[in-house]
Amino acid sequence: MPARVLDGKALAETMRVEIAQQVAAHVALGHRPPGLAAVLVGNVAASRVYVRNKRRACDAAGIRSWLYELPEECSSQQLLDLVAQLNADAQVDGILVQLPLPKQIDEQAVIEAILPDKDVDGFHPDNVGRLTIGIPRFLPCTPYGVQQILQREGIDTAGKRVAILGRSNIVGKPMALILMQKPSKAFPMGGDATVTILHSRSRDLVEQLRQADILIAGIGVAHFVQPEMVKPGAVIIDVGINSLEGKIVGDVAPGVAEIASAMTPVPGGVGPMTITMLLQNTLEAARIHSGLSPRETSVR
């Protein structure tokens, strides 16, 4: 039997309606609508599409958004000046600097310049540190989206073997931190799983992958995961977005659907959830800025 399709697009739509209701409730309490500043630097076509989709999703949820564009050849200082302006703007709850940035820009300096309580991507070291010790403020949107797919599709992660292919700061590392975490009041999304991160230097890759109850692929190689690398009945989450022969494909080969019990499609799986979780984080930022959410929570 082919794998059950984990329809991220449908779940993203459901969650966006829920978020719109939460935004309306927030405004009904007398608060101003949440606001997101989106920063787009240069001419990467895909980045332009993602930012446009993020702003459309904001609009539909009742979140205000503003687009700031800088030219491809801008300097780090120009971008840092813009971030400082947005940090100081009381209408702005969240700042999204779309990645990747042009090569002359010091990406890490830009990430660190964003105020941690406006860092709705969850990339600032303060937010990464909080996630690491189990008192997160904002979870990075892609792994947060994966966690929501697993939870809302009823896929229990407690005690499961999870293999994560890829060790990026945006996907692999935060994904591991979320799924290994013991759930607590401060961190209800904790997955209680046994997590293995695999990467280009990992030995016995296929054997490791074949032990996984849940396999999360985020290495950016089209169709890297082949059927013989997967344990029969495993759950497969495909975070890859690659272009192959003019089509968008994931890191997982289509034949894996014959082996797996459930699998996210590409497109229409994790991608739409990434955008949805940005809305959730922006609402959370607005709650923080209106004094509704605790800034600090203790480890339990």
| Residues of span 268-287 touching ligand LMY7XDAE by CB under 6 A | 268-269, 271-272, 274-275
168 is in an annotated binding site: yes
User: What's the min distance (Å) between Cβ of 71 and Mg ion?
Assistant: 23
User: What's the min distance (Å) between Cβ of 141 and ligand LMY7XDAE?
Assistant: 4
Structure tokens at 191: 């997955």
Residue 54 a catalytic site member: yes
Residue closer to ligand LMY7XDAE, measured from CB, 93 or 121: 121
Cα gap 23→5, rounded to integer Å: 30
> How far from 94 is each of 5, 20, 284, CA to CA, in Å?
32, 16, 9
Residue 91 a catalytic site member: no
Cα gap 62→75, rounded to integer Å: 33
Residue 215, by phi and psi: left (phi above 0), alpha (psi -120 to 50) or beta?
Answer: beta
178 is in an annotated binding site: no
| Residues of span 107-126 touching ligand LMY7XDAE by CB under 6 A | 121
| Residues of span 227-266 touching ligand LMY7XDAE by CB under 6 A | 241, 248, 266
Q: Which is the catalytic residue, given 119, 121, 213, 251?
A: 121
Q: What is the residue type of 40?
A: L
96 lies in the binding site for ligand LMY7XDAE (CB under 6 A)? yes
Structure tokens at 82: 């813009």
Residue 226 a catalytic site member: no
Find the angle CA(240)-CA(272)-CA(111) to the nearest 5 degrees: 75
Q: Which is the catalytic residue, given 22, 54, 117, 118?
A: 54
Contact pattern from residue 141 through residue 160 relative to Mg ion, giving x for each residue in contact according to CB under 5 A and a dash for the rest: -x------------------
44 lies in the binding site for ligand LMY7XDAE (CB under 6 A)? no
Query: Prior bond to 294 cis, omega within 30?
Result: no
> How far from 235 is each of 2, 70, 180, 240, 262, CA to CA, in Å?
12, 41, 17, 15, 5
Q: Of the candidates 12, 170, 179, 286, which one interacts with Mg ion according to CB under 5 A?
A: 170
166 is in an annotated binding site: yes
Residue closer to Mg ion, measured from CB, 83 or 170: 170
Residue closer to Mg ion, measured from CB, 37 or 139: 139
Q: Which of 78, 97, 95, 96 is nearest to 87 (CA)?
A: 95
Cα gap 70→78, rounded to integer Å: 8
Residue 143 binding: pick among ligand LMY7XDAE, Mg ion, none (C-beta 5-8 Å cut-off by kind): none
> Among the residues of the chain, which ranges form H helices?
8-28, 45-61, 76-87, 107-113, 125-132, 141-152, 172-180, 205-210, 270-289
Binding residues for NADP(+), as ranges, are 166-168, 241
Per CB under 6 A, residues contacting ligand LMY7XDAE are 49-50, 96-99, 121, 141-142, 170, 241, 248, 266-269, 271-272, 274-275
Give the active site residues.
Answer: 54, 98, 121
Per CB under 5 A, residues contacting Mg ion are 142, 170
